[in-house]
Amino acid sequence: MSAPVRLNKQGQILGRKGLETRSRLMDAARRLLRTQSPFELTAVGIAGEACISPATFYMYFDDTRDILYALSEVAGEDMARVHAIFDEPWSRDSVEQHAATVIDALNEVWDRHRPVLRYRNLEATRGDPRFVSLRMNTFLPFIDRFAKRILSINPAVPGVRKRADAYAEASILHGAMEHMAATDREVMAAGLGVKRVNANIARIVALTVCRAAIPAEPAVPATENSPLAAAGPEAPERPPRKRTARGAKARKAAGGRAAKPPVESSATLPKTA
């Protein structure tokens, strides 16, 4: 939750009128974002849309980037409604239903703030520290709550499943949800359709969360009576001898020579008269 703004850019305390003027400028920027890219916004254009002088704009915001940051903060605060769904108890039978509720709530936030959230994510990806922090402030609570729901149904098992696995699953599933939520509704309608995609994301969440943790098969040690023990240690296979031209010539010569008869010794010769 972002801290409320109490001062303008000149360090003056914002009263009711000042807060209303700042809010008018932000509303004007939102209206312009329906037809303009965030990169097309100008201070003069926003001030004109709000029927306020351009000089007044700079009393509340440094530039268009500053007002987009303020709009991103508001969008992040709306995400608290999504987080609240994870605070409810989940069971194996209700995972898909709760997942569908999360997806619908996430889509509603994106429908209200799509241009701003896209800009926030783009600047965070580019490495702007302010927008990185802003995105993490909404990303981390989502992942943390989601992982805890996963662990409540599919807990960690020593040697089989770690807590980090649940957080990895939550991060991957959140990425899929956010990517589809960021897509324009018209684009979704031209493809598979919003309902079909969302229903299948909810099904994938349920399959991931409810799958049983399957331990790896342990190695079976050989016993005295087992066939492995009776066979003894397997001798290493001798690599085939490399045939060379010299060896081939020697084999050819050996094959062409006739075998010599054994030489009889004088002790075995018959005696003559």
Is residue 230 pLDDT above 50, yes or no? no
Q: What is the pLDDT of residue 80?
A: 86
Q: How confident is the model at residue 15 (pLDDT cuts 50, 70, 90)?
A: very high
Is residue 94 pLDDT above 60, yes or no? yes
Is residue 268 pLDDT above 70, yes or no? no
Is residue 237 pLDDT above 90, yes or no? no
Q: What is the pLDDT of residue 59?
A: 95
Q: What is the pLDDT of residue 239?
A: 56
Lowest mean pLDDT, pick from 78-92, 104-118, 164-178:
78-92
Give the contacts of 159 (CB within 8 A, at least 6 positions apart): 215
Phi, psi of 13 (to 5 degrees): -70, 135
* Bridge partner list, 161: 157
Name the pTM for this structure. 0.73
Domain boundaries, the chain: 1-62, 64-210
Burial annotation 113-135 (CB, 10 A radius, 16+ → b, else e): bbbbbebbbebbeeebeebbebb
What pLDDT, in 10s, does the model give residues 206-225? 999 988 555 545 555 555 55
Phi, psi of 161 (to 5 degrees): -140, 130
Q: How far apart are alpha carbons 221 and 228 in whole angstroms?
A: 9
Q: How far apart are alpha carbons 152 and 148 in whole angstroms?
A: 6
Give the contacts of 236 (CB within 8 A, at least 6 positions apart): none
* Share above pLDDT 90 across residues of the chain, in percent, rounded to a whole number: 64
Q: What is the pLDDT of residue 9?
A: 87
**Domain 64-210 adopts which CATH fold?**
Tetracycline Repressor; domain 2 (1.10.357)
Q: How far is CA 149 from CA 136, 154, 206, 223, in A?
A: 20, 9, 11, 44
Is residue 232 pLDDT above 80, yes or no? no
Tell me the CATH number of domain 1-62, given options 1.10.10.60, 3.60.15.10, 3.40.50.2300, 3.90.950.20.
Answer: 1.10.10.60
Higher local confidence (pLDDT), 36 or 268: 36
What pLDDT, in 10s, does the model give residues 40-87? 999 999 999 999 999 999 999 999 999 999 999 999 999 988 988 998
